[in-house]
Amino acid sequence: MHKYLLTLVLGYTGLIGWLSLAKVIIPVDVNVKGSDKIGHLLAYFVFTIVWFLFFFYSEKQPGKFSRSWIRAAVLAFLFGVLMEFFQAILTDYRSPEWNDVLANTSGIVFAVFILKILKNKLVSLRVKYY
């Protein structure tokens, strides 16, 4: 299970990094105000969840739920800020925005909220896994 989760987190992190820095051409013009912020929120919601699962199921000792979500949330936040910083210094076609960081953070907070609601279920599934 660990190697599958590792593949998932590395692949998803690479995808988010690429989407953050690449010159992405969207063939359809989306004229929904704030749609890019919704994309940020959803991307970092999933980022936090997949990294949580990786940390949670990689722990040798059960009962490390809090440490896993904290590590995932901090990693997601720092990665999001780093991507905005890289947009400023590595690209001339992307611009960093504090509203993107806010949208990312909203996705992270939402993920942590959902994880806490599902804590008992996740802990019981982890016990069955080991």
User: What is the spatial distance between Cα 104 and Cα 82, in angstroms, rounded to a whole number?
Assistant: 12
Mean pLDDT of the chain: 88
Report the predicted TM-score, pTM, of the whole model to 2 decimal places.
0.87
* 65 within 8 A of 56, measured Cβ to Cβ: yes
* Structure-block tokens of residue 127: 């016990």
Question: What is the residue range of 77's domain?
Answer: 2-129
In tens, the pLDDT along 74-123 reads 999 999 999 999 999 988 887 888 999 999 999 999 999 999 999 988 88
Q: What is the pLDDT of residue 29?
A: 62
* 35 within 8 A of 108, measured Cβ to Cβ: no
Checking if the pLDDT of 63 tops 70, the result is no
Checking if the pLDDT of 16 tops 70, the result is yes
- The tally of domains found in the chain comes to 1
Q: What is the pLDDT of residue 26?
A: 58
